């Protein structure tokens, strides 16, 4: 037993040393470790994250979303290279709900971000959701901690731009950028009000060639819509910019705005408060996950849960009463379990 514990401790030390040393292969394996659903791997991963905790939190975390075809990967590739040229180290975590079915899309990400993928100052990795928003929160947050410990000072989290993953990502970053296209008819069509309400900035992409005038008109429309919705923070009013990643135009101004936002948030204390609230939200998400796993681990309660789901579906029992019964079963089991261990 002591030998087994020693081997595990050594493994954690090796992971930690490799991540802190910037070893990309070890970093990739460490992210694979935190994505594993095996209990032993989960315990090892949490020990590693705890070990690396003092070395996290120093990166600028940026979330970027937009519908497919808006040019997210092209913009991230160009922006990332601009930042690398300025001396930054950039990590890109692509939230990918499909990767659990396809076995991962890292090759696709690297194909779309050709220049950034070749840079030694950059690291690109899909962050699978395991099919749930909880998967987005847990896996991406933990991957973010690892790349920060590895010395990457800018972390970009890219969402697929569908479903509610944008809200989950916005809750774990310092700045949330929404990319939109112009020239698709009604400029306000196809974007949910909830996404605009959490945007720290909107960028109209592909503002080049014949699309420049349309992009400027769309920017004016969205700026007016944001004025009606109100600011995301008392210290910040979300701007709307037009950019062209293909021509590398507008990206310097975009980064200036992101930097200005961080400076304002830090000066007001909102940056630190937001980070703290995000850490507590992470704890709550993990707590809910563990409670549900504990419930599912008890065979009798799991069977009753299935029965109650049928009753709720048929309208014979309210969801609230079903939850009350399950909680009662869990509470009654706990004393018996504790008594048996004494």
Residues 220-236 pLDDT 10s: 988 988 888 888 889 99
- C-alpha–C-alpha distance, residues 265 and 232, integer Å: 12
For the domain made up of 1-54, give the CATH fold.
1.20.5
Query: Domain boundaries in the chain?
Result: 1-54, 56-268, 280-341
Per-residue pLDDT band at 291 (split at 50, 70, 90): confident
Residue 307: per-residue pLDDT: 95
Cα 63–65–69 angle (5° rounding)?
Answer: 145
User: Which of 66-75, 117-126, 140-149, 150-159 shows the lowest per-residue confidence on average (mean pLDDT)?
Assistant: 66-75
Residue 147: per-residue pLDDT: 97
- C-alpha–C-alpha distance, residues 93 and 160, integer Å: 11
Note the pTM of the prediction, 2 decimals: 0.83
Query: Which range scores top for mean pLDDT: 60-64, 230-234, 323-327?
Result: 60-64
Residue 331: per-residue pLDDT: 83
For the domain made up of 56-268, give the CATH fold.
Rossmann fold (3.40.50)
> Hey, what are 55's tokens?
């070395």
Residue 225: per-residue pLDDT: 85
pLDDT mean over 187-203: 74
**Cβ–Cβ under 8 Å, residues 182 and 204:** yes
pLDDT tens for each residue of 302-311: 999 999 999 9
Kindly state the helix (H) or strand (E) to which residue 96 belongs, with its residue range. strand 90-96
Q: Output b/e per residue, 13-44; b: 16+ Cβ within 10 A.
A: eebbebbbeebeebbeebbebbbeeeeeeeeb
**Cβ–Cβ under 8 Å, residues 45 and 16:** no
**Cβ–Cβ under 8 Å, residues 61 and 91:** no
């Amino acid at each position: 037993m002591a030998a087994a514990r020693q081997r595990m401790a050594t493994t954690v030390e090796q992971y930690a040393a490799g991540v802190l040393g910037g070893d990309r292969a070890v970093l990739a394996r460490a992210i694979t470790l935190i994505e594993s659903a095996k209990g032993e791997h989960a315990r090892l991963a949490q020990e590693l994250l705890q070990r690396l905790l003092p070395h996290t939190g120093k990166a600028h975390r940026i979330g970027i979303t937009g519908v497919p075809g808006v040019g997210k990967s092209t913009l991230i590739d160009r922006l990332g290279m601009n930042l690398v040229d300025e001396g930054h180290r950039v990590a890109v975590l692509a939230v990918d709900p499909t990767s659990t079915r396809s076995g991962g899309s890292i090759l696709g990400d690297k194909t779309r971000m050709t220049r950034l993928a070749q840079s030694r100052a950059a690291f690109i990795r899909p962050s699978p959701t395991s099919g749930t928003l909880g998967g987005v929160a847990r896996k991406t947050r933990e991957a973010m901690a690892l790349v920060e410990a590895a010395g990457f000072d800018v972390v970009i989290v890219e969402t697929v731009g569908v479903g509610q993953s944008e809200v989950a990502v916005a809750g774990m970053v310092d700045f949330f950028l929404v990319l939109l296209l112009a020239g698709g008819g009604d400029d306000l069509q196809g974007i949910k009000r909830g996404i605009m309400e959490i945007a720290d900035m909107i960028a109209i992409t592909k503002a080049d060639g014949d699309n420049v005038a349309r992009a400027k008109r769309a920017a004016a429309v969205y700026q007016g819509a944001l004025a009606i919705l109100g600011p995301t923070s008392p210290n910040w009013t979300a701007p709307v910019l037009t950019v062209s990643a293909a021509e590398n135009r507008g990206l310097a101004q975009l980064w200036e705005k992101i930097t200005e936002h961080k400076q304002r948030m830090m000066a007001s204390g909102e940056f630190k408060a937001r980070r703290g609230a995000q850490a507590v939200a992470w704890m709550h998400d993990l707590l809910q996950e563990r409670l549900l796993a504990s419930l599912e681990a008890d065979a009798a309660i799991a069977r009753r849960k299935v029965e109650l789901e049928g009753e709720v579906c048929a309208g014979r029992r309210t969801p609230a009463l079903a939850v009350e019964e399950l909680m009662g079963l869990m509470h009654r089991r706990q004393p018996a379990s504790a008594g048996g261990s004494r």
